[in-house]
Amino acid sequence: MNFKVLKHDITEGVEDFQLDEEPYHFEFDPFTDRTILLQYESEGQWLPAAWCHSYGLGRVVFLMPGHHEPSFRHPALRKLILQAATWAARIPITN
């Protein structure tokens, strides 16, 4: 599966990448604004694979990639996990 990286503090310094992953399709409720971080192509359309949003005083990040151990070895996913946790904790991201 090919992942297209979109611009955000969480994705800073991460390039598009490929993983052997199982796709999931999500239906968002219309009441919560989300910022899409990653997309993947399925049946001719780009679908969300990662996103973030605020919830009250907190922050939430969801990353779809990472079903099995080989995915967690990929440098792009490792960087995304670290930067997502840093962003959610409101710690300034440094590269």
| Beta bridge pairs of residue 18 | 2
pLDDT at residue 95, as a whole number: 59
Alpha carbon distances (Å) from 79 to 5, 15, 40: 12, 11, 18
**Chain-centre distance of CA 2, in angstroms?**
13
- Local confidence band at 93 (pLDDT 50, 70, 90 cut-offs): low
* Segment holding 28, helix H or strand E: none
Per-residue pLDDT reduced to its tens digit, 5-57 = 999 999 999 999 999 988 888 888 888 889 999 999 988 999 999 999 999 99
Instruction: Tell me how far apart the alpha carbons of residues 53 and 60 are, in angstroms, rounded to a whole number.
Output: 5
pTM: 0.89
Per-residue pLDDT reduced to its tens digit, 15-27 = 999 999 888 888 8
Alpha-helical runs (H) found in the chain = 69-73, 75-88
